[in-house]
Structure formats: structure tokens, C-alpha cells
Structure 1
Amino acid sequence: MKSSAYKTLCQEIIKVDSSIRSAGITNEDGIILHISHRKGMKPLLSSEERAQYAITAATRQFTRLRWEVLLGKIQYASSHYTKLIRATIPVTDDNRKLSFVIILSLDAGTDNFHEIIVGKVIPLIKERRSDLKS
């Protein structure tokens, strides 16, 4: 997938709901491939801090995947901070190997974040999954 396609996916994710602050995509190692922010929004983390967060988020998703055999497929994981909600969505290949991680930031206090992620964001990612294959 070319960088313009990563950009398009991130921008499409931002458009699915006005409470989404940012959307990023990383590879399996947590290297940021692209990140888009909602228009007019100032990021809370610096570029370096976002890179560090992405690496740790990918590592956590990789660790969670080992429990899928026992617990079932993970849809997403979320953390609720005072200033925002962070969610990570694993994108795996057909063998359940981590390929990409989608990292979302939503406005703090977004009560319907689960519905947004499960009802809007994940279906879009599934629709675009074949585009993510290199």
C-alpha cells in the first residue's frame, strides 16, 4: 500500500464521526505509516511522543493476540485519559499475524465511543483490509 493510500484511510476514518480527533496507522513494529488529525485540532503529543506511543501500542496489540485462541478475537483496546480516549485496533493477516495497528484518538467524554469504533470504524477497516496488503 502506498503512503497516499494510508493517508486516504486515515482521513476516511476521521470523517466517520466528529468526535474522532486523529487516526493513524502503524506497521506491525509500531512504525507510524501515516497519521491524520481532525481539521483545526492541535495534537497533545509531540511527533516523538506519538512515535513512542505507537511502538508501545503495537507491542501491546501483539501481546494481546496470543490470548485470542483462548478468549476470542480482539476487536479493539481502549484507554480513557482525562484529555482524550485512545483506541487501538489490530489488523491481522489470514493467519492472525499482526500486520497493522490503527490508533484512534477521540474526544474525552465521548459516551458512544464503542458504537463509533464497532459500528463505523471497524467496518471501514474491514472494507479496506485488502488494500492494506502489500
Structure 2
Amino acid sequence: MIMDYDQICKNVLGIDPKVRFAGICDETGETKYGGMREGLTSLLSPQESQKSNLQAVGRWGLRKSLTSKTGRGIYAMTQYEKLTRITIPLDDDHLLVVTTEVDADHRNIINNTLKLIQQ
């Protein structure tokens, strides 16, 4: 199954106006598809975003080492004071990174994002 990564990012931004960012990064942490919601400014510089993505990619690599016992990871969510970050592995080389406002309906955003990916 081939995914249209740009369209996935646009669709995720359309799920809820409190989604700030929807992007897909590769194993280097570089955002290859998607980006910030129009009119918003990123809290991180491009270099800091890549570093943050690279840390998320690394954590997913650590999770994979336990897959035989826990099953495949579906998503991870981290709540920060200023935003929430949701990461979803798409394949061995790409990670969907979604950031939202802290008060967003995360369950709805995650469930609808997972439905988009499965289509």
C-alpha cells in the first residue's frame, strides 16, 4: 500500500483546528512532508524540530526491541506545558509527527488520524 504523505498531513490538519502541525519525518529526523498550520509559528527552530524528531525516531527504535512481547506500537503521546506531540510510525522509514494545543481533544485526533492512515 502506497500512502500519499502530503495528503495525510493535510487531512490530519483538517481533523481539528487545534492541530498545530502535521508532518512526516524520515530516519534522519528531517520533515519531508507536511508542516505547520497556516498562520501559526513553530515553537522550535527548524534545527530544534529536526532534533526533536530524531529523538522520537530513536524512541520508536527502542520500542521495536520489545515488539515480540508487547506487540507493535500504534502511537505515542507526550504532553508538554505548551503543546502535545503525537507520533505514529508509518513504516520502517517514516514517522508521522502531530502537535496540538494542550487543550485539544487528543483521543479524537488520534482515532481519526489512525483511520486516515488505515484507508
Work out whether the TM-score is over 0.5.
yes
- Indicate the SS of the match to 2:29: coil
Range with greater deviation from structure 2 (27-36 or 68-77): 27-36
Q: Give the structure, 1 or 2, with the largest relative contact order (CA under 8 Å, sep 6 or more).
A: 2
* Superposition misfits of 4+ residues, deviation over 6 angstroms: none
Aligned length: 117
- Indicate the SS of the match to 1:102: strand
- Indicate the SS of the match to 1:52: helix
The residue type equivalent to 2:64 in the other structure is L
Could you tell me which residue of structure 2 aligns to residue 31 of structure 1? 30
- Indicate the SS of the match to 1:99: coil
Could you tell me which residue of structure 2 aligns to residue 114 of structure 1? 107
Q: TM-score, normalised by structure 1?
A: 0.78
Distance 1:62 1:126 in 2: 22
Query: Shift of residue 72 of structure 1?
Result: 1.9
- Assess, with a 3 A threshold, how the Cα gap between structure 1 residues 15 and 42 changes in structure 2: closer, same or farther: same
Q: Percent identical across equivalent pairs?
A: 27
RMSD: 1.7
- Assess, with a 3 A threshold, how the Cα gap between structure 1 residues 20 and 28 changes in structure 2: closer, same or farther: same
Distance 1:80 1:73 in 2: 22
Q: TM-score, normalised by structure 2?
A: 0.87
**Kept in 2: contact 1:7–1:36 (CA 8 A):** no
